[in-house]
């Protein structure tokens, strides 16, 4: 697989609590230079980043992040606000406690509401696989499929575990034909990236692939 094909599937990511505008600008510069799918950045930088890239690169942000237990109304406001500020893509975290309580209808309703708040922009649903059983993951594949969301995503990268090959393979088996997969968290190198793509991931949430390419150039 060619490097440019891998890079074109990367959401080049910086979500550290300490992220500064200089660091975000560098992420944007790298995202444009290397042809990444998007940059995934904190919501507070979306407007500035969207103005900075001038349409050359989609801006992605996260809502209900990283714990997912905000109210549905709060998540909908965050999604709407992000889109208004120039986000082309929104990655939301589900309410993991609701999964444990088997509140399937509430989960479905929330994802549908956030999708509506995205006003036609891409919605990726983070289910935080490290906290779920395989049975719960399969159920979430079904709910995300029914919701009309665009992607199911493995992880925040803040939950104690990231994407695994097993989880991406499980997603690929149980999602509907209109849902894509984003693997995120712990994608350490180009081989990892290639493996996840071969297993069915259309997007990768990582900063390390661009870093690896830059190191090869240096």
Using a 10 angstrom Cβ sphere, with 0-12 exposed, 13-18 middle and 19 or more buried, the burial of residue 184 is buried
Residue 167 among the catalytic residues:
no
Catalytic residue among 91, 150, 167, 192: 91
96: tokens are 């993991």
Catalytic residue among 11, 167, 182, 192: 182
Catalytic residue among 9, 153, 167, 192: 153
Spatial neighbors of 20 by CB under 8 A, at least 6 apart, are none
Cis peptide before 66 (omega within 30 of 0): yes
Q: Is 160 left (phi over 0), alpha (psi -120 to 50) or beta?
A: left
Residue 115 among the catalytic residues:
no
> In angstroms, rounded to a whole number, what is the distance separating the alpha carbons of residues 10 and 211?
12
Residue 214 among the catalytic residues:
no
Q: Which residues are identified as catalytic?
A: 91, 153, 182
């Amino acid at each position: 697989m060619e490097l440019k094909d891998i890079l074109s599937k990367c959401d080049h990511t910086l979500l550290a609590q300490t992220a500064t505008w200089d660091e975000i600008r560098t992420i944007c510069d790298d995202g444009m230079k290397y042809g990444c799918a998007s940059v995934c950045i904190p919501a507070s930088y979306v407007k500035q980043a969207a103005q900075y890239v001038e349409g050359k690169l989609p801006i992605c942000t996260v809502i209900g992040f990283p714990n997912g237990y905000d109210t549905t109304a709060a998540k909908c406001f965050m999604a709407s606000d992000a889109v208004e500020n120039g986000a082309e893509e929104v990655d939301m975290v589900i309410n993991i406690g609701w999964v444990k309580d088997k509140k399937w209808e509430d989960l479905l309703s929330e994802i549908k509401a956030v999708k509506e708040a995205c006003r036609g922009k891409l919605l990726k649903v983070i289910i935080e696989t490290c906290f779920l059983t395989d049975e719960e993951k399969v159920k979430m594949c079904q709910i995300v499929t029914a919701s009309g969301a665009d992607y199911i995503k493995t992880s925040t990268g803040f939950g104690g575990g990231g994407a695994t090959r097993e989880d991406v393979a499980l997603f690929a088996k149980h999602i509907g034909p209109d849902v894509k997969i984003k693997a995120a968290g712990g994608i350490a190198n180009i081989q990892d990236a290639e493996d996840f793509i071969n297993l069915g991931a259309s997007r990768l949430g990582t900063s390390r692939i661009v870093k690896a390419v830059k190191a090869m150039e240096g």
